[in-house]
């Protein structure tokens, strides 16, 4: 029996008259990478923002581990185990990689509100930050300032920060964007290594990557879900091909 961690039911979001998301439903299961595809402007980022709570929904419901989290703001959802990365790298550029993760881990620290204790004195927070960095493959770069990391490393750091919070639902907004072939390969390995323990939503443009790693694919067009299914079903779908994949070689 698959363990559904996050389920979205009929999400709709309007900006003025424009519906950026219309009746979007999808679910994330532990042990699976669920890829979200679609042309630019299909509403993928809006969808992530709705799931993470960065944007309020106009209508629809979001269940996290079966509990309705629709009215909760983003930081409350985060505390319930939902983590996200951003399409544009979104780290604390002036902090070291370690401090980025330490801060992320600190959000789960019951003593996060202490005003006089030393932030670096908390061993359990430190350990979680260090192991998240290790897991994301940044162990050797932990003392480098965020701004000085390479683009690929910054993307890895974003994921390390999410891991440091202990989230098991990961919403990843184009983690491969702007990466070279070698960096992409490393990121894909990272995603595969995270798969067993996490439920992952992967928004991505890179088709090869998506079909290499995805267990399930949902295609969005103009704010709606066009089709959802196993990778081979999506590849075979005429509707998807017409609406999105377009050129024949893309499906190869």
Residues that bind other proteins (CB under 8 A): 52, 54, 73-76, 78-79, 83-84, 86, 90-95, 99, 102-104, 106-109, 111-120, 122, 161, 165
Minimum Å gap between C-beta 163 and other proteins is 11
C-beta closer to other proteins: residue 148 or 239: 148
| Cα–Cα dist 155/157, whole Å | 5
C-beta closer to other proteins: residue 73 or 178: 73
Query: Half-sphere exposure (CA, 13 Å, Cβ side) for 251?
Result: 18
> Which residues, including other chains, have CB under 8 Å from residue 74's CB and lie 6 or more apart?
52, 53, 54
C-beta closer to other proteins: residue 51 or 214: 51
| Cα–Cα dist 67/219, whole Å | 26
Minimum Å gap between C-beta 217 and other proteins is 25
C-beta closer to other proteins: residue 177 or 207: 177
CA angle 31, 36, 41 (to 5 degrees): 160
Q: Are 37 and 219 in contact (CB under 8 A)?
A: yes
**Residue in 223, 225, 227 with CA at minimum distance from that of residue 58:** 223
Minimum Å gap between C-beta 78 and other proteins is 4
Minimum Å gap between C-beta 246 and other proteins is 29
């Amino acid at each position: 029996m698959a363990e559904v961690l996050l389920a979205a039911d009929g999400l709709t979001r309007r900006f003025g008259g424009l519906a950026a998301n219309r009746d979007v439903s999808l679910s994330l299961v532990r042990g699976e990478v669920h890829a979200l595809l679609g042309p630019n402007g299909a509403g993928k980022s809006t969808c992530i923002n709705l799931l993470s709570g960065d944007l309020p929904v106009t209508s629809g419901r979001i269940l996290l581990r079966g509990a309705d989290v629709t009215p909760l703001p983003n930081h409350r959802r985060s505390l319930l185990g939902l983590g996200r990365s951003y399409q544009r790298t979104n780290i604390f550029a002036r902090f070291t990689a370690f401090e980025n993760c330490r801060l992320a881990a600190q959000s789960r620290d019951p003593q996060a509100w202490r005003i006089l204790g030393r932030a670096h004195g908390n061993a359990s927070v430190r350990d979680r930050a260090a192991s998240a960095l290790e897991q994301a493959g940044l162990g050797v770069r932990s003392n480098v300032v965020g701004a000085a990391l390479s683009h690929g490393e910054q993307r890895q750091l974003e994921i390390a920060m999410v891991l440091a919070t202990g989230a098991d639902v990961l919403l990843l907004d184009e983690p491969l964007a702007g990466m070279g072939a070698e960096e992409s390969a490393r990121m894909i390995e990272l995603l595969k290594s995270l798969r067993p323990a996490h439920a992952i939503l992967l928004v991505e443009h890179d088709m090869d990557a998506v079909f290499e790693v995805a267990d399930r694919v949902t295609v969005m067009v103009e704010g709606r879900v066009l089709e959802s299914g196993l990778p081979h079903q999506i590849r075979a779908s005429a509707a998807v091909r017409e609406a999105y994949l377009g050129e024949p070689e893309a499906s190869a």
